[in-house]
Structure 1
Amino acid sequence: MKEFQRKQLLERVNREGATVGAQIPETIEVQGEQVDLQQFVFEIKRRDTIPTGEQERVDQAKRNLRRERIERLQKIEDNEVSYEEGRQLVQDIIGIDRALNALEQLRPVDLEQEAKLKHAADQKRWMNFLKQALGRDGGKSKRGGR
């Protein structure tokens, strides 16, 4: 591959917004193993949060994807592939980036924090109910005007 082509491919990978409109690859080889990447990401993302039991699995997947991204990018940087192979690697890298972005947006479930927030909301609702029932709701009660 010519130097300008290599630079073009590297610029495309590093371009801000490169993942906009990109598809997560259906399957991808990661560390020598075929992974149904699209299905995995959608399965995890559907939940909106990472369940406690799945946290290690998601973290491992992110580490493997980052490693795979670096290895593919290195092949382009070291000019070890043809231009056509480089173009395919760029597509793979952008798809990996898209999957990583989706996985990074998820937050782990913090059951303790979630329970505290629910408890605080319950207490607030209860206090508001008591204020209304006792007529101490700051002038919002049904008493007659003066």
Structure 2
Amino acid sequence: MKEYERKGLLERVNREAATVGAEIPEAIEIQGEPIELQSFVFEIKRRDTVPPGERERVEQAKRNLRRERLERLEPIEENEVSYAEGEALAASIIGIDRALDALEGLDAPAPETEAKRQEAADRKRWMSFLKKALGRDSAGGTRGRTRF
């Protein structure tokens, strides 16, 4: 493979938006063991959060996917494959990245949920500040200030 082809493949797999539009592979072989990757990711993502019993399984899957990604990237970095083989490896790496992205985002709250939680916390801090500034306690009375 020519140097500019190798650099192009490396740029493609390391691009931040490489997974946009990419599909998770149906199946993948990791360390000689076939894994039904797409069904595993969809099964886990169907739930709102990862159940405690599944957490270790998901973490192990992520570690295995990261290891496999590095193993597939190395022949491209070392220029040990033809351009056609590098293309196939790059496509599989992007599929692995897509699966990792899906698995990484499992425990993070949705942006809307996080925004609502932040807004509620801000409102609570503001009300607490106002109560202190106006000298009111939580029972609605006054503390140390006389009102006329």
Residue in 1 that maps onto 2:51:
51
| Pair 1:12-2:12 in alignment | yes
User: What is the aligned-residue RMSD (CA, Å)?
Assistant: 1.4
Distance 2:60 2:95 in 1: 18
Distance 1:81 1:5 in 2: 11
Residue in 2 that maps onto 1:77:
77
Deviation at 1:32? 1.1
The count of residues paired between Structure 1 and Structure 2 equals: 109
| Pair 1:96-2:121 in alignment | no
User: What SS does the aligned partner of 2:84 have?
Assistant: helix
Deviation at 1:48? 2.2
Residue in 1 that maps onto 2:40:
40
Residue in 2 that maps onto 1:142:
none
Q: Which amino acid aligns with 1:40?
A: F
Deviation at 1:38? 0.2
Deviation at 1:31? 1.3
Q: Which amino acid aligns with 2:69?
A: R
Distance 1:48 1:40 in 2: 15
Distance 1:48 1:32 in 2: 31
Distance 1:31 1:48 in 2: 30
Question: Structure 2, unaligned stretches of length 5 or more?
Answer: 109-148
Residue in 2 that maps onto 1:140:
none
Distance 1:94 1:51 in 2: 27
Q: Deviations over 1:64-91 (max 9, x none)?
A: 0000000111110011111001001111
Residue in 2 that maps onto 1:117:
none
Q: Which amino acid aligns with 1:53?
A: G
Question: Structure 1, unaligned stretches of length 5 or more?
Answer: 109-146
Distance 2:74 2:104 in 1: 23
Distance 1:48 1:100 in 2: 17
Residue in 1 that maps onto 2:145:
none
Residue in 2 that maps onto 1:68:
68
Q: Which amino acid aligns with 1:90?
A: A
- Using the aligned pairs only, state the percent identity: 73
Q: Deviations over 1:8-49 (max 9, x none)?
A: 100101112000000000001111111100000000000021
Dislocated runs of 4+, deviation >6 Å:
none
What is the TM-score with the length of structure 2 in the denominator?
A: 0.71
Distance 1:48 1:28 in 2: 25
Distance 1:8 1:85 in 2: 14
